Amino acid sequence: VNQILLLLLVLTVCAILYNKVHQVPSALKNETVDLESPEEMEEEIPVVICAAAGRMGAAVAAISSIYSNTEANVLFYIIGLKTTIPHIRKWIENSKLKEIKFKVVEFNPMVLKGKIRQDASRPELLQPLNFVRFYLPLLIQKHEKVIYLDDDVIVQGDIQELYDTKLAPGHAAAFSDDCDLPSTHEMVRSVGMQNTYMGFLDYRKQAIRDLGISPSTCSFNPGVIVANMTEWKHQRITKQLEKWMQRNVEENLYSSTLGGGVATSPMLIVFHGKYSSINPMWHIRHLGWSPDARYSEQFLQEAKLLHWNGRYKPWDYPSVHTDLWENWFIPDPSGKFKLTRPDS
Protein backbone atom coordinates (compact mmCIF):
# COMPACT_ATOMS: atom_id res chain seq x y z
CA VAL A 1 0.00 0.00 0.00
CA ASN A 2 2.84 2.36 0.88
CA GLN A 3 4.47 1.70 -2.45
CA ILE A 4 1.21 2.50 -4.26
CA LEU A 5 0.77 5.77 -2.34
CA LEU A 6 4.38 6.71 -3.07
CA LEU A 7 3.84 6.01 -6.78
CA LEU A 8 0.70 8.19 -6.83
CA LEU A 9 2.58 11.01 -5.08
CA VAL A 10 5.40 10.84 -7.63
CA LEU A 11 2.91 10.90 -10.53
CA THR A 12 1.10 13.92 -9.02
CA VAL A 13 4.36 15.86 -8.63
CA CYS A 14 5.34 14.99 -12.21
CA ALA A 15 1.98 16.18 -13.50
CA ILE A 16 2.32 19.52 -11.68
CA LEU A 17 5.85 20.04 -13.01
CA TYR A 18 4.74 19.12 -16.55
CA ASN A 19 1.91 21.66 -16.49
CA LYS A 20 4.22 24.41 -15.27
CA VAL A 21 6.82 23.70 -17.94
CA HIS A 22 4.25 23.46 -20.76
CA GLN A 23 1.90 26.18 -19.57
CA VAL A 24 0.71 28.42 -22.47
CA PRO A 25 2.29 31.87 -22.11
CA SER A 26 -0.23 34.58 -21.27
CA ALA A 27 0.69 36.61 -24.37
CA LEU A 28 -0.10 33.65 -26.61
CA LYS A 29 -3.41 33.10 -24.85
CA ASN A 30 -4.30 36.73 -25.47
CA GLU A 31 -3.52 36.30 -29.16
CA THR A 32 -5.89 33.35 -29.25
CA VAL A 33 -8.63 35.47 -27.74
CA ASP A 34 -7.89 38.23 -30.23
CA LEU A 35 -8.49 35.85 -33.12
CA GLU A 36 -12.08 35.59 -31.96
CA SER A 37 -12.50 39.28 -31.14
CA PRO A 38 -15.38 41.28 -32.63
CA GLU A 39 -12.95 43.10 -34.89
CA GLU A 40 -11.81 39.86 -36.51
CA MET A 41 -15.35 38.48 -36.72
CA GLU A 42 -16.65 41.69 -38.30
CA GLU A 43 -19.38 41.17 -40.86
CA GLU A 44 -18.26 41.30 -44.46
CA ILE A 45 -19.96 43.96 -46.62
CA PRO A 46 -20.28 42.77 -50.24
CA VAL A 47 -20.38 45.63 -52.76
CA VAL A 48 -21.14 44.83 -56.41
CA ILE A 49 -19.79 47.16 -59.13
CA CYS A 50 -19.52 46.55 -62.87
CA ALA A 51 -16.40 47.26 -64.90
CA ALA A 52 -17.53 47.94 -68.45
CA ALA A 53 -15.27 48.53 -71.44
CA GLY A 54 -14.68 52.22 -72.02
CA ARG A 55 -15.70 53.24 -68.51
CA MET A 56 -13.51 51.23 -66.17
CA GLY A 57 -12.22 54.46 -64.69
CA ALA A 58 -15.72 54.92 -63.28
CA ALA A 59 -15.57 51.62 -61.39
CA VAL A 60 -12.09 52.47 -60.10
CA ALA A 61 -13.21 55.88 -58.80
CA ALA A 62 -16.26 54.35 -57.10
CA ILE A 63 -14.18 51.65 -55.42
CA SER A 64 -11.53 54.17 -54.38
CA SER A 65 -14.13 56.45 -52.77
CA ILE A 66 -15.73 53.58 -50.82
CA TYR A 67 -12.43 52.14 -49.61
CA SER A 68 -11.11 55.54 -48.51
CA ASN A 69 -14.16 56.47 -46.45
CA THR A 70 -14.74 53.39 -44.32
CA GLU A 71 -13.10 51.11 -41.79
CA ALA A 72 -15.63 48.38 -42.55
CA ASN A 73 -14.72 44.95 -43.88
CA VAL A 74 -15.69 45.51 -47.53
CA LEU A 75 -15.45 42.81 -50.19
CA PHE A 76 -15.76 44.20 -53.71
CA TYR A 77 -17.36 42.01 -56.36
CA ILE A 78 -16.19 43.47 -59.67
CA ILE A 79 -18.32 42.16 -62.52
CA GLY A 80 -16.99 42.23 -66.06
CA LEU A 81 -17.10 40.54 -69.42
CA LYS A 82 -14.44 38.04 -70.42
CA THR A 83 -12.66 40.59 -72.59
CA THR A 84 -12.50 43.31 -69.91
CA ILE A 85 -11.56 41.33 -66.81
CA PRO A 86 -7.76 41.27 -67.37
CA HIS A 87 -7.68 45.08 -67.72
CA ILE A 88 -9.54 45.86 -64.50
CA ARG A 89 -7.57 43.25 -62.55
CA LYS A 90 -4.24 44.76 -63.64
CA TRP A 91 -5.49 48.28 -62.89
CA ILE A 92 -6.30 47.31 -59.31
CA GLU A 93 -3.21 45.20 -58.69
CA ASN A 94 -0.88 47.92 -60.01
CA SER A 95 -2.37 50.88 -58.13
CA LYS A 96 -2.97 51.89 -54.53
CA LEU A 97 -6.14 49.78 -54.65
CA LYS A 98 -4.03 46.62 -54.45
CA GLU A 99 -4.86 46.48 -50.71
CA ILE A 100 -8.61 46.05 -51.22
CA LYS A 101 -10.42 42.73 -50.88
CA PHE A 102 -11.99 41.89 -54.21
CA LYS A 103 -13.24 39.14 -56.46
CA VAL A 104 -13.57 39.49 -60.22
CA VAL A 105 -16.64 37.72 -61.59
CA GLU A 106 -17.36 37.10 -65.26
CA PHE A 107 -20.86 37.90 -66.51
CA ASN A 108 -22.05 35.77 -69.42
CA PRO A 109 -24.17 37.96 -71.75
CA MET A 110 -25.77 34.84 -73.25
CA VAL A 111 -28.30 34.90 -70.39
CA LEU A 112 -29.78 37.99 -72.08
CA LYS A 113 -30.26 36.38 -75.49
CA GLY A 114 -33.73 37.20 -76.79
CA LYS A 115 -34.58 39.36 -73.78
CA ILE A 116 -33.43 42.82 -74.92
CA ARG A 117 -35.29 44.91 -77.46
CA GLN A 118 -32.96 47.04 -79.56
CA ASP A 119 -33.44 50.77 -79.02
CA ALA A 120 -31.38 53.22 -81.07
CA SER A 121 -32.16 56.26 -78.90
CA ARG A 122 -29.66 55.30 -76.17
CA PRO A 123 -27.73 52.18 -77.25
CA GLU A 124 -25.37 52.46 -74.26
CA LEU A 125 -28.26 51.38 -72.04
CA LEU A 126 -28.36 48.03 -73.83
CA GLN A 127 -24.86 47.01 -72.73
CA PRO A 128 -24.98 43.59 -71.01
CA LEU A 129 -23.55 44.80 -67.70
CA ASN A 130 -26.53 47.12 -67.24
CA PHE A 131 -28.51 43.99 -66.42
CA VAL A 132 -26.12 42.51 -63.83
CA ARG A 133 -28.40 43.79 -61.04
CA PHE A 134 -31.11 41.40 -62.30
CA TYR A 135 -28.89 38.39 -61.60
CA LEU A 136 -27.37 39.18 -58.19
CA PRO A 137 -28.12 35.79 -56.54
CA LEU A 138 -26.49 33.95 -59.45
CA LEU A 139 -23.29 36.00 -59.20
CA ILE A 140 -23.05 36.53 -55.43
CA GLN A 141 -23.95 33.34 -53.64
CA LYS A 142 -22.67 33.32 -50.06
CA HIS A 143 -24.10 36.58 -48.72
CA GLU A 144 -27.48 37.33 -47.17
CA LYS A 145 -27.32 41.08 -47.85
CA VAL A 146 -25.64 42.81 -50.80
CA ILE A 147 -25.07 46.38 -51.99
CA TYR A 148 -25.23 47.03 -55.73
CA LEU A 149 -23.89 50.33 -57.11
CA ASP A 150 -23.84 51.75 -60.62
CA ASP A 151 -20.30 52.59 -61.73
CA ASP A 152 -21.01 56.33 -62.15
CA VAL A 153 -21.16 57.06 -58.43
CA ILE A 154 -18.78 58.18 -55.73
CA VAL A 155 -19.31 57.52 -52.05
CA GLN A 156 -18.54 60.28 -49.56
CA GLY A 157 -19.96 58.57 -46.46
CA ASP A 158 -19.19 55.34 -44.62
CA ILE A 159 -20.59 52.44 -46.66
CA GLN A 160 -21.46 50.72 -43.37
CA GLU A 161 -24.35 53.20 -43.00
CA LEU A 162 -25.81 52.18 -46.35
CA TYR A 163 -25.35 48.50 -45.54
CA ASP A 164 -27.26 49.02 -42.27
CA THR A 165 -30.36 50.12 -44.20
CA LYS A 166 -33.33 48.26 -42.73
CA LEU A 167 -35.43 46.20 -45.11
CA ALA A 168 -39.02 45.55 -44.09
CA PRO A 169 -40.11 41.90 -43.75
CA GLY A 170 -40.90 40.48 -47.17
CA HIS A 171 -38.92 43.12 -49.06
CA ALA A 172 -36.16 41.88 -51.35
CA ALA A 173 -34.59 45.31 -51.93
CA ALA A 174 -34.36 48.96 -50.89
CA PHE A 175 -34.14 51.87 -53.35
CA SER A 176 -34.26 55.67 -53.36
CA ASP A 177 -37.57 57.23 -54.36
CA ASP A 178 -37.31 59.84 -57.09
CA CYS A 179 -39.63 62.12 -55.09
CA ASP A 180 -37.89 61.72 -51.75
CA LEU A 181 -35.70 64.82 -51.48
CA PRO A 182 -37.21 68.31 -51.93
CA SER A 183 -33.71 69.74 -52.51
CA THR A 184 -33.51 67.85 -55.82
CA HIS A 185 -36.95 68.77 -57.17
CA GLU A 186 -35.77 71.96 -58.84
CA MET A 187 -32.92 70.05 -60.49
CA VAL A 188 -35.37 67.42 -61.75
CA ARG A 189 -37.64 70.06 -63.29
CA SER A 190 -34.77 71.99 -64.86
CA VAL A 191 -33.36 68.99 -66.72
CA GLY A 192 -36.71 67.46 -67.66
CA MET A 193 -36.01 64.30 -65.70
CA GLN A 194 -39.01 62.05 -65.21
CA ASN A 195 -39.78 60.99 -61.65
CA THR A 196 -43.02 59.05 -62.15
CA TYR A 197 -43.99 55.77 -63.79
CA MET A 198 -45.33 57.74 -66.76
CA GLY A 199 -41.74 58.56 -67.66
CA PHE A 200 -40.74 54.90 -67.97
CA LEU A 201 -43.76 52.83 -69.02
CA ASP A 202 -45.93 53.18 -72.13
CA TYR A 203 -49.45 53.62 -70.76
CA ARG A 204 -50.87 53.32 -74.26
CA LYS A 205 -50.24 49.57 -73.98
CA GLN A 206 -52.93 47.40 -72.40
CA ALA A 207 -50.38 45.26 -70.55
CA ILE A 208 -49.17 48.36 -68.68
CA ARG A 209 -52.68 49.63 -67.90
CA ASP A 210 -53.58 46.16 -66.61
CA LEU A 211 -50.94 46.53 -63.89
CA GLY A 212 -53.22 48.99 -62.12
CA ILE A 213 -50.32 51.33 -61.30
CA SER A 214 -51.15 55.04 -61.48
CA PRO A 215 -48.93 56.83 -64.01
CA SER A 216 -48.30 59.54 -61.40
CA THR A 217 -46.76 57.03 -58.98
CA CYS A 218 -43.28 58.10 -57.91
CA SER A 219 -40.55 56.06 -59.55
CA PHE A 220 -37.32 54.89 -57.91
CA ASN A 221 -33.73 54.67 -59.11
CA PRO A 222 -32.10 51.19 -59.15
CA GLY A 223 -28.56 52.58 -59.46
CA VAL A 224 -28.13 52.02 -55.71
CA ILE A 225 -29.65 48.87 -54.25
CA VAL A 226 -29.50 47.20 -50.85
CA ALA A 227 -30.75 43.67 -51.51
CA ASN A 228 -31.81 40.70 -49.38
CA MET A 229 -30.71 37.61 -51.29
CA THR A 230 -32.97 35.20 -49.41
CA GLU A 231 -36.11 37.17 -50.28
CA TRP A 232 -34.85 37.78 -53.83
CA LYS A 233 -34.56 34.05 -54.43
CA HIS A 234 -37.75 33.19 -52.53
CA GLN A 235 -39.80 35.63 -54.63
CA ARG A 236 -38.01 34.57 -57.83
CA ILE A 237 -37.26 38.20 -58.63
CA THR A 238 -34.86 37.34 -61.46
CA LYS A 239 -37.52 35.23 -63.20
CA GLN A 240 -40.07 38.03 -62.83
CA LEU A 241 -37.66 40.57 -64.33
CA GLU A 242 -36.88 38.25 -67.23
CA LYS A 243 -40.60 37.81 -67.88
CA TRP A 244 -41.06 41.57 -68.36
CA MET A 245 -37.94 41.81 -70.49
CA GLN A 246 -39.40 39.13 -72.74
CA ARG A 247 -42.77 40.87 -72.90
CA ASN A 248 -41.07 44.12 -73.85
CA VAL A 249 -39.32 42.39 -76.75
CA GLU A 250 -42.71 41.20 -77.96
CA GLU A 251 -44.90 44.24 -77.15
CA ASN A 252 -42.53 47.25 -76.82
CA LEU A 253 -43.82 48.26 -73.39
CA TYR A 254 -41.12 50.67 -72.35
CA SER A 255 -38.00 50.91 -74.53
CA SER A 256 -39.09 53.97 -76.51
CA THR A 257 -40.59 55.98 -73.66
CA LEU A 258 -39.10 59.10 -72.13
CA GLY A 259 -37.03 57.46 -69.42
CA GLY A 260 -35.24 55.18 -71.84
CA GLY A 261 -34.91 52.91 -68.83
CA VAL A 262 -34.56 49.46 -70.34
CA ALA A 263 -33.09 48.21 -67.05
CA THR A 264 -35.14 50.48 -64.78
CA SER A 265 -38.60 49.79 -66.20
CA PRO A 266 -38.90 46.06 -65.41
CA MET A 267 -37.69 46.77 -61.88
CA LEU A 268 -40.35 49.46 -61.47
CA ILE A 269 -42.96 46.84 -62.39
CA VAL A 270 -41.65 43.95 -60.31
CA PHE A 271 -40.89 45.95 -57.16
CA HIS A 272 -43.94 48.23 -57.22
CA GLY A 273 -45.18 48.62 -53.64
CA LYS A 274 -42.71 45.99 -52.41
CA TYR A 275 -39.48 47.76 -51.52
CA SER A 276 -37.92 49.63 -48.61
CA SER A 277 -36.44 53.13 -48.77
CA ILE A 278 -32.81 54.24 -48.70
CA ASN A 279 -31.89 57.45 -46.88
CA PRO A 280 -32.20 60.19 -49.56
CA MET A 281 -28.73 61.56 -48.79
CA TRP A 282 -27.34 58.17 -49.76
CA HIS A 283 -28.37 58.67 -53.38
CA ILE A 284 -28.11 62.21 -54.75
CA ARG A 285 -28.93 61.81 -58.42
CA HIS A 286 -29.23 63.61 -61.76
CA LEU A 287 -25.65 64.98 -61.83
CA GLY A 288 -25.32 63.63 -65.37
CA TRP A 289 -28.56 64.94 -66.84
CA SER A 290 -27.33 68.35 -67.96
CA PRO A 291 -23.91 69.99 -68.39
CA ASP A 292 -25.38 73.21 -66.97
CA ALA A 293 -27.57 72.27 -63.99
CA ARG A 294 -25.60 72.28 -60.74
CA TYR A 295 -26.29 71.62 -57.07
CA SER A 296 -24.96 73.96 -54.37
CA GLU A 297 -21.52 73.06 -53.08
CA GLN A 298 -22.80 72.89 -49.49
CA PHE A 299 -25.50 70.40 -50.47
CA LEU A 300 -22.98 68.22 -52.32
CA GLN A 301 -20.59 68.23 -49.37
CA GLU A 302 -23.36 66.90 -47.12
CA ALA A 303 -24.33 64.16 -49.56
CA LYS A 304 -23.24 60.60 -48.77
CA LEU A 305 -23.35 59.33 -52.36
CA LEU A 306 -23.33 61.21 -55.68
CA HIS A 307 -24.69 59.67 -58.89
CA TRP A 308 -24.00 61.01 -62.39
CA ASN A 309 -26.97 59.21 -63.97
CA GLY A 310 -27.68 60.59 -67.42
CA ARG A 311 -25.62 61.24 -70.54
CA TYR A 312 -23.00 63.62 -69.12
CA LYS A 313 -20.47 61.53 -67.21
CA PRO A 314 -17.70 63.02 -65.03
CA TRP A 315 -14.91 61.30 -66.99
CA ASP A 316 -16.22 62.89 -70.22
CA TYR A 317 -16.75 66.48 -71.33
CA PRO A 318 -18.94 68.40 -70.81
CA SER A 319 -20.06 67.42 -67.32
CA VAL A 320 -20.64 69.02 -63.92
CA HIS A 321 -18.98 68.71 -60.51
CA THR A 322 -16.10 66.77 -62.04
CA ASP A 323 -13.73 67.95 -59.29
CA LEU A 324 -15.61 65.87 -56.72
CA TRP A 325 -15.35 62.79 -58.91
CA GLU A 326 -11.68 63.32 -59.79
CA ASN A 327 -10.78 63.34 -56.08
CA TRP A 328 -11.19 59.56 -56.19
CA PHE A 329 -10.05 58.73 -59.71
CA ILE A 330 -6.85 56.69 -60.04
CA PRO A 331 -5.11 56.91 -63.45
CA ASP A 332 -4.92 53.75 -65.51
CA PRO A 333 -1.37 52.30 -65.21
CA SER A 334 -1.71 50.93 -68.76
CA GLY A 335 -2.69 54.34 -70.14
CA LYS A 336 -5.67 52.90 -72.04
CA PHE A 337 -8.33 54.83 -70.13
CA LYS A 338 -7.99 58.60 -70.32
CA LEU A 339 -10.17 61.42 -69.06
CA THR A 340 -11.80 63.65 -71.68
CA ARG A 341 -11.15 67.27 -70.76
CA PRO A 342 -11.34 70.60 -72.67
CA ASP A 343 -7.54 70.81 -72.96
CA SER A 344 -6.99 67.13 -73.77
State mean pLDDT over 94-103: 97
Q: What is the pLDDT of residues 231-242, one digit of tens each?
A: 999 999 999 999
d(CA 216, CA 292): 27
| Residue 178 pLDDT greater than 90, yes or no | no
DSSP secondary structure string for all residues of 70-83: --SEEEEEEEE-TT
pTM reported for the whole predicted model: 0.85
State mean pLDDT over 138-158: 96
Summary mean pLDDT of the chain: 86
Topology of domain 45-185+220-235+275-327 in CATH is Spore Coat Polysaccharide Biosynthesis Protein SpsA; Chain A (3.90.550)
Instruction: Output DSSP code: residue 110.
Output: G
Q: What is the pLDDT of residues 276-334, one digit of tens each?
A: 999 999 999 889 988 988 899 999 999 999 999 988 999 999 999 999 999 999 999 99
Q: What is the pLDDT of residues 75-90, one digit of tens each?
A: 999 999 999 999 999 9
d(CA 51, CA 31): 40
Q: What is the pLDDT of residues 17-70, one digit of tens each?
A: 555 444 433 322 333 333 334 444 579 999 999 999 999 999 999 999 999 999
Alpha-carbon separation of residue 226 from 160, 165, 176, 260, 275 (angstroms): 12, 7, 10, 23, 10
pLDDT value of position 40: 45
